Amino acid sequence: MTAGNYSMMGSVAALVAQTLRTYDCDPEPLFRKAGLDMSLLSNPDTRYPGNRVQQLWQLAVDASGDPCFGFIAGEQVQPAVLHGLGFAWLASDTLRDALTRLMRYSRLISTAANMQLQDTDSSLDLVLLPPKGVHTVTPAFQDAGMSGFLRMCRLTAGDEIDPVQVSLKHPRPACARELQAYFRAPIVYGAENNILSFDKQLVDTPLTHANPGLARINDQAVVDYLARFDRDSLTMQVRSRIIERLHDGTPNQQTIAHSLNVSLRSLQRKLSKEETNFKSLLESTRRELALLYIRETHRSLGEITYLLGFSEPSNFTRAFKRWTGISPIEYRDKN
């Protein structure tokens, strides 16, 4: 992916416009300067070229005169900014479940999004890595992600939710006192990556307002949204074909290639250009579905084994342990 061909949700740009108005700044001239048609914001499916949205963020910082503009913008995030992902987040079983959704559907926000969830002995870390294939990233955009994702956690689990540590790539800013008041956690400046670290017990605590049915409905809304703009992505097409065929056993590359009317060699070459391969897509698709199905307590392990295309429950159990470090039963009991 190159810097010119990734996209961002229009609602990200709308958040910039909303925040600019709180500084008594007119957003329209800045949209024009960035080459963005502001009238398109009325369409919820609008996506803008990512490099132009990055430019808009920098223009907003300059116009506001506030180097902490990104953090301020993130503090105003509402679930609707993230479309179905935001509402699925609110309905998640636990904060870990919500953050897993964020990682799974991060391409909704930006097709160059690059984030990881990392378990340590005592914390779960949300790591915001440099966007894939993008050479220039406006710090304000990632600042908004840091404050915005914490805002979503607090909307989901209560305003008293605090990280155990926050790591920020840039030096200590003039608004450090305000950031300390917002994050309510030790802040490490000049870090290698932007990281929100949460207490493990906290992220695995069941949430009072969890609604698995509502979460699934909004998950599907996200999948449908992605499909509308991403039909040209071979990765998405292959994942879709894998899901369709899993209940018939483990799909093979040749079958998938035939269903897409391409040769096996062409399939492999095109997936390589999208920085993936069939084996990793099969593995990640199975893992995501397994984590979804195992939370649906009405499903037996035998049914999940069948739905994921494993020949025996023991094969599924081995794979699940490889993915999570624990057995399906242990995971279900824990979650």
**Domain containing residue 240: CATH number:** 1.10.10.60
193 and 98, same structural domain? Answer: yes
pLDDT at 293: 86
Answer yes or no: is pLDDT of 125 > 90. yes
Cross-strand partners of 9: 47
φ and ψ at residue 48, rounded to 5 degrees? -115, 155
167 and 47, same structural domain? Answer: yes
Domain closes at, from 203, 222, 249:
203
Mean pLDDT, rounded, of the chain? 91
Domain with 322 in it: 231-334
261 and 171, same structural domain? Answer: no
pLDDT at 231: 63
Separation of alpha carbons 272 and 174, rounded Å: 44
Compute the average pLDDT of residues 211-239: 83
For the whole prediction, is pTM greater than 0.85? Answer: no
The helix or strand, by DSSP H or E, that contains position 197, with its residue range, turns out to be strand 194-199
242 and 110, same structural domain? Answer: no
pLDDT at 240: 78
273 and 125, same structural domain? Answer: no
The helix or strand, by DSSP H or E, that contains position 124, with its residue range, turns out to be strand 123-128
283 and 197, same structural domain? Answer: no
183 and 43, same structural domain? Answer: yes
Q: Indicate the number of domains in the chain.
A: 2
Compute the average pLDDT of residues 265-278: 88
186 and 89, same structural domain? Answer: yes
State the pLDDT confidence band at 197, using cuts at 50, 70 and 90: very high
Q: What Cα–Cα distance (Å) separates residue 175 from each residue in 24, 158, 170, 172, 199?
A: 20, 25, 12, 8, 26
pLDDT at 232: 59
Compute the average pLDDT of residues 146-153: 98
Compute the average pLDDT of residues 314-324: 94
SS3 content of the chain, % helix, strand, coil (to 5): 60, 10, 35
49 and 148, same structural domain? Answer: yes
Between 90 and 294, the higher pLDDT residue: 90
Reported as half-sphere exposure (CB side, CA atoms, 13 A), residue 86 has a value of 17
pLDDT at 3: 40
93 and 165, same structural domain? Answer: yes
pLDDT at 135: 67
DSSP secondary structure string for all residues of 266-323 = HHHHHHHHTT--HHHHHHHHHHHHHHHHHT-TTS-HHHHHHHTT-SSHHHHHHHHHHH
pLDDT at 32: 96
274 and 190, same structural domain? Answer: no
Compute the average pLDDT of residues 188-200: 96
Residues 86-102 have pLDDT tens digits of 999 999 999 999 999 99
Among 272, 258, 305, which residue's Cα sits nearest to residue 286?
305
Among 80, 79, 68, 82, which residue's Cα sits nearest to residue 23?
68
Answer yes or no: is pLDDT of 328 > 70. yes
Percent of the chain with pLDDT over 90: 70
Give the CATH number of the domain where residue 161 resides. Answer: 3.90.1520.10
